[in-house]
Amino acid sequence: MVAPIVAAGARAALGRGAKAGAMRAAAAIPGGGEEKQQRISKFTAVLMVSLAVIVDLLQFFLTLSGFLMLGSLYMTFLAACIFGIWFALHDISYFSGKKALPKMLAVMGGLVAELLVIINALPITTLSVLTVILLSWAEDRES
């Protein structure tokens, strides 16, 4: 029962990957094919930044309460996992690409700053997510 479902999912994934590869190849041909799309749409960017703002607001109130600092650190870990997976699903790596160093510095610097006690009340997650989105859009324009 499980094997047909897994096989159908694999076929769908391969078909999607083949279509994306064909679109990239067509976009690479000057004057031929469709325009290359950005990896993160404006709608997705708005969703990501909105979630980052919500995370930063929660961290702000947890930090202000003083005794819930551990909750703020948990929010940092949870947000890093969520955004890491979300960026990976959109084929954005922090460690590769033309803008790899600035992306890596934005993410790692944001994580270190979020681990500091009073600094984590600032909107660092929002700035990190926005920086990675803008850098990925710049990479998409250059390629």
* Encoded amino acid at 87, one letter: F
Q: Do both 44 and 84 map to the same domain?
A: yes
For the chain, the helix, strand and coil percentages under 3-state DSSP, each to the nearest 5: 75, 0, 25
Single out the residue of 140, 105, 137 nearest to residue 124, CA to CA.
105
Q: How many domains does the chain have?
A: 2
The DSSP 8-state label assigned to residue 97 in this structure reads: S
Q: Do both 47 and 18 map to the same domain?
A: no
Q: Do both 70 and 104 map to the same domain?
A: yes
For residue 92, give every residue at least 6 positions away whose Cβ sits within 8 Å of its Cβ, in sequence order, or none. 39, 40, 103, 132, 136
Q: What angle do helix axes 100-115 and 69-89 make, rounded to 10 degrees? A: 160
The pTM for the full model equals 0.72
> Mind listing the pLDDT tens digit for each residue in 45-97?
999 999 999 999 999 988 888 778 788 888 989 999 999 999 999 999 988 88
**Host domain of residue 97:** 38-142
Q: Do both 135 and 85 map to the same domain?
A: yes
